[in-house]
Amino acid sequence: MQTLGDAAALAPEGVVVTTGRSPRVLILVGALVLVLAGVVLSLALGVREVAIGESWRALTDPVAGNVDHAVIRGQRVPRTVIALLAGAALGLAGVLAQGITRNPLADPGLLGLNSGAALGIVLAATAFGVVTPLGAVWFAFAGAAVAAVTVFAIGHGRPVQLALAGATLTALLTPISNLVLFRDVDALNQLRFWAVGALNGRDLDAVAVLWPFIAVGAGIALFVAHRLNGLALGDDVAAALGQSVGTTRAIGGVGIIMLAGAATALAGPIALVGLAVPHAARRLVGTDYRWVVPLCALLGPVMLLTADIVGRLVKADELEAGVVAAIIGAPVLIAVARGRRVAGL
Asked whether residue 198 carries a pLDDT value surpassing 80, the answer given is no
Mean per-residue pLDDT, 184-191: 73
Residue 235 exposure: Cα atoms within 13 Å on the Cβ side: 9
Which of 33-47, 63-77, 128-142, 148-162 has the weakest average pLDDT?
148-162
- Structure confidence by residue, pLDDT tens digits, 7-29: 444 444 333 444 467 799 999 99
Q: Is the pTM of this model over 0.75?
A: yes
- Chain centroid to CA 29: 20
For 307-333, write each residue's pLDDT tens digit: 999 988 886 667 888 888 888 888 877
Report all structural domains of the chain as residue ranges with CATH numbers, in order of start: 4-337 (1.10.3470.10)
Rounded mean pLDDT of 284-297? 95
Which pLDDT score, from 0 to 100, does residue 2 have?
A: 46
Q: State the greatest distance between any 2 C-alpha atoms of the chain, in Å, as a whole number.
A: 67
Cβ proximity of 220 and 255 under 8 Å: yes
Supply angle C-alpha 29, 298, 62, rounded to 5.
90
Taking the alpha carbons at both ends of the chain, their separation in whole angstroms is 23
